[in-house]
Structure 1
Amino acid sequence: MLYGKSILAIIPVRLGSKRLKLKNIRIFKGKYLFLNTLFVAKKCKYIDKIIVSSEKKKISSMFNDKKFLFRHRPKNFAKDKTLASDVIIDVLKNVNFAYDYFIYLQPTSPLRNIFDIESSLKKAIYKNKQSLISVSEDNSKPNGAIYISKVKEFIRYKKFKNDRFSNYRMPKSRSIDIDYLKDFEKALKA
């Protein structure tokens, strides 16, 4: 909880990646790639609950912690063309929209750290933004690391960018988004 607002973290872990096979469960610095995101989210004192959404139940056996909940994602939300908004709404419906804000953390941004998560949450909530997206400081393009939204606003608009949206600038060194093997190798060297 932050400034009296409850916060849910959503971590999507799909195993059907086409460009880099099984990227979310590749070993990254000693553990599965998606576990890096779980453990950083767990360190955040503002996050009330963390939900891992995956189409594969075996993902839930890869972590054991009461702060993490597992949402078995329906197969129709585990396809290449599935929108992040569909996955998010599926999770939000599952928790009866019981949170004020959510933060969407993709495992493919393993260099994002606790400072980034806490700073972006503070900015979004303190400034009463409907949504916030992390961007790389070198080109101001979304880097895939952090997406934050008010739950009610996301349900209404089904997207992050709206009239009261903000961004959180991250250094280029932490803005790697893993889509291909070269991205994975670059992140390992960072």
Structure 2
Amino acid sequence: MTEPGRILAVIPARAGSKRLPRKNTASLGGQPMVSWSIRAALDAGLAGRILVTSDDPEVLAIAETWEGVRSLQRPAELATDQATTADVLRHAVTEETKAGRAPDTLVLLQPTSPLRIGEDIANALNQFCQGGGESVVSVSPVEHPLAWCGKVDANGALLGIDLQSAQRSQDYEPDYRLNGAVYVVDVAGFVASGSLFTDRILASIMPRERSVDVDEALDLTICQSLMQER
């Protein structure tokens, strides 16, 4: 595969979370949730740096317990609900560049995907290299065909579904969704556009059982159950 150049894997884990307070340090499988993304990054064998960026002293302390992982204190303005992931990544790239470690390839690993494993990260990076530097996102199959999805209006009417179709779910081509687990992009392109997405986006497919995104307490319970089945 084509070498991706200097890699920077960023795990952004701020303290605040409205629906599940302090979710990044919530206990999952006997470890803080953010630790599972750190472990996956290490298991992926990335030839680069792993950086945890946070405003939370507890998260930063957790990162420092892992050999080969560095922490970055983010400024207060990047720890608000208004701060975007792109803002946080731009800050990380800028700080690394100032320190003489300018990266070529950026890998985003959100800590809310604790079931992701090193192989998933390596697969996405391999897809990035084979694609000649296009952006790569991890995806997973959706549970049902999108043809079965619609909207419900203010009067309770179901709209947008072809109810006359008698096709079975297996008769449809598979549909995929972003699962938020892995993003890979060329740093120069990201800095220029401020986006993780290029005009052409490649997909790295992950199984549904490793694609749970933790947004509320139920998601954490599902992850705990799936971990016990491994």
Verify same fold: TM over 0.5: yes
Residue 102 of structure 1 aligns with an amino acid whose one-letter code is: L
Q: Which amino acid aligns with 1:64?
A: T
Distance in 2 of aligned mates of 1:65 and 1:36: 11
Q: Residue by residue, what CA displacement relative to the aligned partner does 1:75-113 show, whole Å, maximum 9, x if unpaired? A: 111111211000000000001171110111011101111
Query: Which residue number in structure 1 is paired with residue 82 of structure 2?
Result: 81
Tell me what 1:93 maps to: 94
The answer to whether the Cα contact below 8 Å between 1:129 and 1:164 also exists between their aligned partners in 2 is no
Give the aligned partner of residue 109 of structure 1. Answer: 113
In structure 2, give the amino acid aligned to 1:144. Answer: G
1:159 to 183, 195, 212: 195
2:45 aligns to what?
45
Structure 2 CA distance, aligned partners of 1:58 and 1:114? Answer: 24
* Aligned-residue RMSD, C-alpha: 1.5
Give the one of 175, 194, 213 matched to 1:177. 213
Conserved? CA contact 1:130–1:153, under 8 Å: no
Q: How far apart are the structure 1 equivalents of 2:186 and 2:7? A: 9
- How far apart are residue 45 of structure 1 and its match? 1.7
- Residue deviations 1:111-166 (CA, integer Å, cap 9, x gap): 11111110110111122133111111224121110011110000011112221321
The answer to whether the 8 A contact 2:4-2:104 is kept is no
Give me the whole-angstrom Cα distance separating, in 2, the residues matched to 1:16 and 1:136: 27
**Partner SS state of residue 126, structure 2:** helix
**Is the 1:85–1:159 contact (alpha carbons within 8 Å) kept by the matching residues of 2?**
yes
Task: Please give the alpha-carbon distance, in whole angstroms, between the structure 2 residues aligned to 1:110 and 1:67.
Answer: 19
2:7·2:106 contact (CA, 8 Å) conserved in 1? yes
Query: Which amino acid in structure 2 is aligned with residue 176 of structure 1?
Result: V
Over 6 Å off, 4+ runs: none
Letter in 1 for 2:124: S
What is the percentage of aligned positions where both structures have the same residue?
30
Q: Indicate the residue corresponding to 1:188 in structure 2.
A: 224
* TM-score, reference length from structure 2: 0.78
CA–CA distance in structure 2, aligned partners of residues 51 and 101 of structure 1: 13
Per the alignment, do residues 4 and 13 of structure 1 end up closer, same or farther by CA in structure 2, a change over 3 Å counting? closer
Q: Which residue is 1:32 aligned to?
A: 32
C-alpha separation in 1, matches of 2:197 and 2:96: 23
